[in-house]
């Protein structure tokens, strides 16, 4: 589904982007109906919802690009999508950039972790040499076919090598041609503020409640120099909690009568999934009996 403005146009206009995490078409369509400027396809969410595995480098390019294509086609807002480390070497990264772009992704995020990668808010992450990541950025910039496709370069150096090295990498990634710089898991508000002051690029902040970083409101992030805030865990965390509560209610009561968990009605689900369009099509085209 085409969007009216590209994410690049939105950022160039100086607008701050809050992008909630989506991982399937229920989450994507619900978020798409709301007043967000972009959506974020979370690798953690796809790993969990699609394959039921940890976000530990187990999902493949095929898994991710297929889910990205489905989501991008079904929404009207720009999609930012996680591409892990690019799913292999430089040739793999080129394929990833072109595949995500063809799928309709407007901002493609990849990181400088060693393979297999790990979730950004878990311990034990190691990063590749900065020179190797600079070469990856060069390949990614060269691979994209549209100037509107944004390259999001993420560094996980903060946790293992410290903030100074993370900022040094962020600066270098911007100079190498990354459109958006993402320094993962700063550990205080002061660290976020330093990043905003010292890295000259569009900046992305990752807001993960109960993760390694403090939660900071969007207005403050914007004041500190950030341009995008993603909320990858929001959808999956509240969905998992609601599912758990609903199933426990049924187990305890042997019925859903009196369910005290927020729930869509069947009419709301029908509308979300496009049944009214199906019914209108059938009304216009179905053959009459007799």
CB atoms within 10 A of CB 69: 18
Mean pLDDT over 50-60 rounds to 85
Dihedral (Cα; 83, 86, 91, 97), 10-degree rounding: 20
Mean pLDDT over 157-179 rounds to 96
The whole-chain average pLDDT of the chain stands at: 93
Judge contact between 119 and 85, C-beta under 8 A: no
Q: Name the CATH superfamily, with its identifier, for domain 7-233.
A: Phosphoenolpyruvate-binding domains (3.20.20.60)
The structural domains of the chain, with segments of one domain joined by +, span 7-233, 240-285
Query: What are φ and ψ of residue 62, in 5° steps?
Result: -60, -45
- Please tell me the predicted confidence (pLDDT) of residue 54: 81
Exposed, middle or buried: residue 262 (CB in 10 Å: 0-12, 13-18, 19+)? exposed
Mean pLDDT over 110-120 rounds to 80
Of the listed ranges 37-46, 118-127, 136-145, 184-193, the least confidently predicted one is 118-127
Q: Is residue 156 pLDDT above 50, yes or no?
A: yes
Residue 171 bridge partners (DSSP):
none
Helix locations, the chain, DSSP H: 7-12, 25-32, 43-46, 61-74, 90-103, 130-143, 157-161, 163-175, 189-198, 218-223, 232-253, 266-272, 275-285
Mean pLDDT over 232-247 rounds to 96
Measure the CA–CA gap between 54 and 268, rounded to whole angstroms: 31
């Amino acid at each position: 589904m085409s969007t009216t403005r590209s994410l690049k146009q939105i950022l160039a206009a100086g607008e701050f982007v809050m992008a909630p995490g989506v991982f399937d078409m229920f989450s994507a369509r619900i978020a798409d109906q709301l007043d967000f400027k972009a959506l974020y396809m979370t690798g953690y969410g796809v790993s969990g919802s699609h394959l039921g595995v940890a976000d530990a480098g187990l999902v493949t390019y095929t898994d991710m690009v297929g889910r990205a294509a489905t989501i991008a086609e079904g929404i009207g807002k720009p999609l930012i999508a996680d591409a892990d480390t690019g799913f292999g070497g430089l040739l793999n990264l080129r394929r990833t950039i072109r595949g995500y772009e063809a799928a309709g992704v407007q901002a493609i995020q990849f990181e400088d972790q060693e393979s297999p990668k790990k979730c950004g808010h878990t311990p034990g992450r190691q990063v590749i040499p900065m020179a190797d990541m600079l070469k990856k950025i060069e390949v990614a910039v060269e691979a994209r076919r549209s100037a509107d496709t944004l390259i999001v370069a993420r560094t996980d150096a903060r946790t293992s090598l410290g903030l100074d090295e993370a900022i040094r990498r962020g600066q270098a990634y911007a100079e190498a041609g990354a459109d958006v710089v993402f320094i993962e898991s700063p550990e205080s508000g002061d660290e976020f503020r330093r990043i905003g002051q010292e890295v000259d690029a569009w900046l992305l902040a990752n807001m993960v409640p109960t993760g390694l970083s403090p939660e900071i409101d969007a207005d403050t992030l914007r004041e500190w120099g950030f341009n995008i805030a993603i909320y990858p865990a929001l959808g999956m965390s509240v969905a998992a909690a609601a599912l758990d509560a609903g199933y426990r209610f049924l187990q305890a009561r042997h019925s859903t009568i009196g369910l005290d968990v927020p729930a869509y009605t069947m009419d709301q689900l029908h509308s979300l999934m496009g049944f009214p369009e199906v019914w209108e099509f059938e009304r216009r085209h179905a053959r009459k009996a007799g």
